[in-house]
Structure 1
Amino acid sequence: MSVLDLKLERAFDVFDSDRDGRLEKSDVIGVSDRLAESLGCAPDAVDRLRDSLADLWDTVFQKMDKNHDGVVDRQEFRAAFRARIVTDQNRIWERIRNMSNAWTELGDRDGDGMLSREEYTSLLHGMFRLPRETFDEAFDRLDVNGDGQLSRDEISSAMKEYYTSENHTARGNQFFGRL
């Protein structure tokens, strides 16, 4: 399995809220609700994230459902994501960036426009339910300029590498922790 396939498998697991091996719109949108709960936010505080995830489902994920059964399985997800990356990278990336910006905004608790290590860890732990320790090494790799903060550009660049790079050493591979 290629490094991109490994990352897409992990991404699928992140979005598969109920762990049934199938993605539905409620799984994808449910990521925002998990984040609101983990951050102690009111549900309306994640409206922008919820909207960006709904748009991601409607414009990207739903089209992955090749057998039209209303759900996206792992094979459909991996094959379609790879095809979209090649043929429609700008449009898919715009939607991923919108989602990234929305949850970065939520995670930026002190409002400085950056994510500290604690903000990054809390955000990803809350959104994806991965152990907090998973993100220490990831944070160090993603903090390109070594200032102890992640800027939107660093986050955006890392996410793009995560979803597009076949390079085993790409920093973005660490976005959800070590592969």
Structure 2
Amino acid sequence: MNLLDIKLDRSFDVFDSDRKGQLQRSDVLAVSDRLAESLGVAPDSVAGLRDSLGGLWDTVFHTMDRNGDGAVDRQEHRAAFRARIVSDQNRIWDRIRNLSNAWTALGDRDGDGMLSRDEYTSLLHGMFRLPRQTFDEAFSALDRDGDGQLSRDEISVAMKEYYTSQDHAARGNQFFGRL
């Protein structure tokens, strides 16, 4: 299995909230519900993130469902993501940037437009329910300028590297933790 397949499988796993081996709209939207719960806020407080996730499902994930069963399995996810990245980079990156901006705004507790280590770790742990240490290690790799904060640009670059780079040393590979 090549590096991109490993990363796409990890991405699939973090979105597969019910662990049934297929993604449905409810799995993708559950990310916002988990975040609201972890932040101790009402689901309405994460409406922007939920809308972004819904848009990501409608424009990206839903189109991956090649057999029309209403769900995306691991193979459909891999094949479609690879094809989509090649054929429609601008639209997919706009969707991912919107999603990233929505959850960055939610995680930015001090309002400085950046995510501290604690903000990033709490945010991703809340969304994806992976151990905090996973994201603590990821933060160190993603903080390119070493200022102790992740800017929106650093996050966007990391996400783009995660979904496109075949370079084993790319920092963005660490987005969902060590591979």
SS in structure 1 of the partner of residue 34 of structure 2? helix
Q: Which amino acid letter does the alignment assign opposite residue 142 of structure 1?
A: L
Task: Give the alignment's Cα RMSD to 1 decimal.
Answer: 0.7
Residue aligning to 1:51: 51
C-alpha distance in 2, partners of 1:87/1:144? 29
C-alpha distance in 1, partners of 2:30/2:135? 21
C-alpha distance in 2, partners of 1:159/1:31? 17
C-alpha distance in 1, partners of 2:106/2:7? 24
Unaligned runs of 5+ residues in structure 2 are: none
C-alpha distance in 1, partners of 2:33/2:13? 16
Instruction: Say whether 1:71 aligns with 2:71.
Output: yes
Q: In the TM superposition, what is the alpha-carbon distance from 1:29 to its structure 2 partner?
A: 0.7
Instruction: Say whether 1:117 aligns with 2:87.
Output: no
Counterpart mapping for 1:24-43 below 5 A: 24-43=24-43
Q: Which amino acid letter does the alignment assign opposite residue 47 of structure 1?
A: A
Q: In the TM superposition, what is the alpha-carbon distance from 1:87 to its structure 2 partner?
A: 0.5
Q: Which amino acid letter does the alignment assign opposite residue 11 of structure 1?
A: S
Q: In the TM superposition, what is the alpha-carbon distance from 1:137 to its structure 2 partner?
A: 2.0
C-alpha distance in 2, partners of 1:110/1:155? 18
C-alpha distance in 1, partners of 2:65/2:99? 21
Q: In the TM superposition, what is the alpha-carbon distance from 1:140 to its structure 2 partner?
A: 1.0
TM-score, reference length from structure 2: 0.98
C-alpha distance in 1, partners of 2:108/2:41? 13
Residue aligning to 2:154: 154
Q: Which amino acid letter does the alignment assign opposite residue 125 of structure 1?
A: H
C-alpha distance in 2, partners of 1:41/1:2? 40
Residue aligning to 1:174: 174
C-alpha distance in 2, partners of 1:58/1:136? 31
Residue aligning to 2:7: 7
Residue aligning to 1:130: 130
Unaligned runs of 5+ residues in structure 1 are: none
How many residues are aligned here?
A: 179
C-alpha distance in 2, partners of 1:41/1:112? 20
Q: Which amino acid letter does the alignment assign opposite residue 102 of structure 1?
A: A
Q: In the TM superposition, what is the alpha-carbon distance from 1:116 to its structure 2 partner?
A: 0.5
SS in structure 1 of the partner of residue 132 of structure 2? coil
C-alpha distance in 1, partners of 2:13/2:36? 19
TM-score, reference length from structure 1: 0.98
Q: Which amino acid letter does the alignment assign opposite residue 90 of structure 1?
A: N
